[in-house]
Amino acid sequence: MDTAYLKKVAVTLVFVVISLFFIFYIGYHIYNGFSTDITTVIAEKKTYHASLTADGFIFRDETCLTSQYSGTVNYTVKNGEKIAVGTAVAQSFADSSGYSAGIEISEIEKTISLLESCIRETGTDGDISTISRKISDSYLLILSRLEEGRVDFALSSTDDLLAGLTKKDIITGEAVGLDKTVQSLLARKNSLQSSISGRYETVVSDNSGYFFSETDGFEELFSPEKILNATVSEIFDLVDRVKKPAGSENSVGKIVSGYRWNMAVPLKEKSEHDFEVGRTYDVVMPGNFNMEIKMRLDKIVTERTSDRTVLIFSCGELPENFNFKRSQTVTVQTGETQGFRIPSTALRVLDGIKGVYTLDGSTVKFKRIHIIQDDTDGYYVASCEDFENAPGADKYGYLKLYDSIIVSGKDIKDGMVFY
């Protein structure tokens, strides 16, 4: 057997295999270099509801009410109730035993008032069907407020239900001896008042307005008069203090004069929305069961040294069951607008500029974008005609209508050519 010939054949086969391997390897990478899988979407204008979400700070004309006692307090008026000058709003007690007696006195007075009202308003010829309907309405209202998680408001609605049930009992003759019950309650009240004499203080308001039991120590600082004349720096310094509640020593509540109040919305950066002074906006309060309130934009406060801005809104009503917490998140509905919606996977950053890669024929081109608003899994961006003369637009250009936006693909680069 010719061994030299066999060696020559073996060497030739090895070179052929190695050559085929290199041809396959180089061809594979060349193919991948020019055939990257990409996914595109067309840039089309879409109409959407634009909004601004930020922290809002409430300013009202408020006067604190204080007491000499720092023990326990029994309130005799409800939160948000309108009161006149000289109204007794609370009783402040030196100790817990006096407080317990005070609570019982208040309940007795409440019961006496309800019974006397029912006796006075209900006769033997009362309309039982009307009263039964009111009882049903009161019951359903309580259930509704409990389902919403508004326990305090549900409890405040029990008075109407109790009054209806009492009137029904009077009409049907099931309630007898109510006059004697009232006299017994009055005797118990007088006895309790004697036991706590000199150990409590009745807090009386010197102003008319709306009563609220919660105080935070910022009542005098957060006045409408101050906010309307403050600078951007003064407002930012003021709202920063809210992060550290001050509290009010011996405070038992406050009186809010008038029904008009303001809200300041500080923005650390220039807003992308075109706000108009004098325009009324729908403002949603997520922390108030998404309550929507109409508020007027009274003033836009700016400063020359930065993009910081403060929007000053006003409202001419006191919404029922509204929580006037000093600081809370607000969403200002700025109206409908148009723009392009891009998926979050399409967003790229090139040379510190936000944009997207587009496919122009077979060539990849980077296009700048101007984000107006975040959206679920994407962004709304302004159309290019809004930025024709913007700085840097000549280098990359802005995203245009019907551009083919690349939303997925590996190793995409500006200027890349696909074959």
280 forms beta bridges with: 296
Are the CB atoms for 134 and 161 separated by under 8 Å? Answer: no
pLDDT of residue 57: 96
CA 48 to chain CA centroid, nearest Å: 20
pLDDT of residue 71: 67
Residue 419 burial by CB count (10 A; 0-12/13-18/19+): exposed, middle or buried? exposed
Are the CB atoms for 114 and 163 separated by under 8 Å? Answer: yes
d(CA 362, CA 413): 13
Across the chain, mean pLDDT equals: 82
Which residue carries 């118990």 as its tokens?
188
pLDDT of residue 150: 72
- pLDDT tens track for 96-141: 777 778 778 888 888 888 777 777 777 654 677 777 888 788 778 7
pLDDT of residue 248: 66
- pLDDT tens track for 22-44: 565 555 445 455 555 788 999 98
The region that residue 25 occupies, defined by phi over 0 for left and psi between -120 and 50 for alpha, beta otherwise, is alpha
Per-residue pLDDT tens digits of the chain, which is 419 residues long: 556 655 565 556 656 556 665 565 555 445 455 555 788 999 988 887 888 899 999 999 999 999 888 668 888 888 888 999 999 999 888 777 777 787 788 888 888 887 777 777 776 546 777 778 887 887 787 787 777 777 766 676 677 777 777 777 777 777 767 778 888 888 888 888 777 766 788 899 999 999 998 888 899 889 998 888 899 999 999 999 887 766 667 889 999 998 899 999 999 987 767 799 999 999 999 988 899 999 999 999 999 999 999 999 999 988 888 889 999 999 999 888 788 889 989 999 998 889 999 999 889 999 989 888 887 788 888 876 655 555 555 678 889 888 999 998 888 888 888 76
100-109, long-range: CB < 8 A, 24+ apart:
101/192, 101/195, 101/196, 102/74, 102/196, 102/200, 103/74, 104/188, 104/192, 105/189, 105/192, 105/193, 106/74, 106/76, 108/185, 108/186, 108/188, 108/189, 108/192, 109/189
The region that residue 321 occupies, defined by phi over 0 for left and psi between -120 and 50 for alpha, beta otherwise, is left
pLDDT of residue 136: 82
pTM equals 0.61
- 10 Å Cβ neighbour count for 121? 11
d(CA 412, CA 410): 6
The full set of domains in the chain, from first to last, is 39-48+339-408 (2.40.420.20), 52-62+218-335 (no CATH), 96-198 (no CATH)
One-character DSSP codes across 149-161 = T-HHHHHHTHHHH
Termini Cα distance of the chain? 53
How distant, in Å, are the alpha carbons of 114, 156, 206, 247, 413 from that of 254? 27, 20, 11, 13, 63
